[in-house]
Chain A
């Protein structure tokens, strides 16, 4: 059970320089990902979950910048690399899947041309060898008759099929890490189920690690081995999925789980977290969740440190819940 560490992120801080001062969008984000592991990165809009993905991939646009911290991919610090070295890593050792597959696909190029390009950018192989790899990748994500489909254009695919192609392109060079940013959010449930099935299978087969970014706890609960919950730029709770879901320690995680309709008896009022997510430029002092938290005290004026809650389970809270939530059957 000592699989190698693929990706280690340490104290990542990402800032945006704006007219009104420096906004800290990611604060002390740390996690570790082992081979074949799927980590669910969960949070609501503006919590910084997508930004974490972009920061790792080195895709931040100005005025955003990674201010401090280390991003170690197989021990190599991505932050010390220059633009050309990073380009060699992207699409090769690490890949990203977006919510909208058309962000990956070029509408005026055949699928085959786009896929071959992705291979030949990183490996000096013949077109024939590249085509074989493309076929294998398409078959892996469950696209029927790959030969025919390689000759098609993106608009000839349905939404679910397009997302499969985007996943196939991410897989082409057998990357160590794939960052998937809400890839099934725009898809119907039956199609989402198919894609989750493929991703699960691929991780087991190839040992590729996945960061699955989503706002939907119920999607990652069936898929991920580990869960990190983000709120206002910080990871507030992290651990093995079972531990986090059965014993959510941070009041925010607990609130999130309790507000899902399926976790409440029908026709009864849903549990609701009062208030709304604060703007990153006007974060409350100390624990950013404290103004919405029913357990907050004077102590919460300081930023809490990550504290062990159990085996493989940590949370950033001064007043964590210790008892199981007891919602799940």
Chain B
């Protein structure tokens, strides 16, 4: 098992958004103006390895780059630096046919399935369009194919002829999942796939994710801001803050022995049902703008343990226990 190549590997991934100085402003610069390139580093030199049949939870607050990393993992975005490898092979070097197969193997499930469904197409067409296009099924088989897909995700077969607006929120989620499963993927990237659902419906959809994993040997990258959901599903947890990974480890490690002060703060604020009134002692400060992230360790302005070194030098992600890595200068002492 240990010799097996990881299913998906992202190495040194960087994605920035923005623009460089345009010719006019370059000209103005020559005349003494000081226009500079403006970039947001949404994902900054991130390494992520996902093994086959593993569930990796990717956690962070808004603007930390978790969705961008998810899109890079699927290949919806081209990185500005870094390589993406599928089963040890760099996708950039793949021949066209292999690349097409790889693309089909990685599918994405979005938070709002409504946004990814054409409101004027019936459910049966929405889920069979991709497999017909790719020649996985014949157009004449679409009814029976959709029927088996619907059964997999727990939708009644008579719903096939309906339009997206005739589905409830939970059913629409299932439809989004069915659509992703239609091309027999091995790897699913779920971006906040249950965030918009009510608790009782969320439980049903999470159970479906777990059942599908067992039935179809799926691998997940599960992106969520909800630590409770991630704790429940994930084998391994990756925590991001402002474009960088600050900590990663097995679910058990992270929830029992969180190392990075940011992870500790997240865990302390994680809402759990409790019996005694809580006196909130939240972390101070706001999430800084990714346009102008703090120098050194991005978390230092909010960190209770910040030292002078944290303001100048970005800590590296280093192993602190087997399989548990954290990016914090505090680990260098002793």
Contact = CB atoms under 8 A, between A and B. Distances in A.
Contacts of B199: 44, 215-217, 256, 259-260
Given A189-B61, A191-B287, A272-B203, A218 B232 contact: no
Contacts of A191: 286-287
Nearest to A200: B280
Given A259-B203, A276-B168, A219 B271 contact: yes
A266 B254 CA distance: 13
Interface stretch (B39-47, B82-90, B262-270): B262-270
Contact of A270 (B232, B269, B271, B277): B232
Given A189-B266, A261-B206, A221 B231 contact: no
Nearest to B262: A190
Interface in B256-292: 265-266, 268-284, 286-287
**The 9 A-B residue pairs with the shortest CB-CB distance in the complex, in nearest-first order:** A193-B282, A222-B278, A197-B280, A259-B203, A218-B271, A188-B61, A261-B232, A44-B198, A262-B228
B144 to A, nearest CB: 27
26 contacts: A45-B198, A158-B287, A190-B61, A190-B265, A190-B282, A190-B283, A192-B271, A194-B282, A196-B280, A216-B199, A218-B271, A218-B274, A219-B271, A221-B271, A222-B280, A223-B278, A256-B199, A259-B203, A261-B226, A262-B228, A262-B231, A262-B270, A269-B211, A272-B204, A272-B207, A273-B203
B212 interface: no
A209 to B, nearest CB: 16
B251 A266 contact: yes
A267 interface: yes
B233 interface: yes
Interface in B192-210: 198-204, 206-207, 210
Contacts of A188: 61-62, 225, 287
Interface residues of A, number: 48
Interface string A252-266: 000111011111101
B200 A262 contact: no
Interface string A197-220: 100100000000000000111110
B315 interface: no
A190 B267 CA distance: 10
Contacts of B294: none
Contact of A262 (B251, B273, B284): B273
A161 interface: yes
A277 interface: yes
Contacts of A197: 279-282
B83 to A, nearest CB: 31
A111 interface: no
B200 A255 contact: yes
A160 interface: yes
Nearest to B227: A189
A32 interface: no
Contacts of B201: 44, 276
Contact of B170 (A246, A262, A276): A276
A185 B120 CA distance: 31
Contacts of B281: 197
B130 interface: no
B231 A266 contact: yes
A261 B227 CA distance: 9
Interface of B: 61-62, 168-170, 198-204, 206-207, 210-211, 225-229, 231-233, 251, 265-266, 268-284, 286-287
A260 B228 contact: yes
Contacts of A194: 280, 282-284
Contacts of A193: 268-269, 280, 282-283
A276 B198 CA distance: 10
A160 B287 CA distance: 10
Contacts of A271: 203
A245 interface: yes
Contacts of A160: 286
Nearest to A327: B273
A245 B200 contact: no
Contact of A264 (B226, B232, B276): B232
Interface string A72-91: 00000000000000000000
A273 B280 contact: no
Contact of A189 (B200, B225, B232): B225
A242 to B, nearest CB: 5
B230 to A, nearest CB: 9
A197 B210 CA distance: 36
Contacts of A241: 275, 277
B286 A263 contact: no
A246 B232 CA distance: 22
Given A190-B283, A266-B251, A267-B210, A215 B228 contact: no
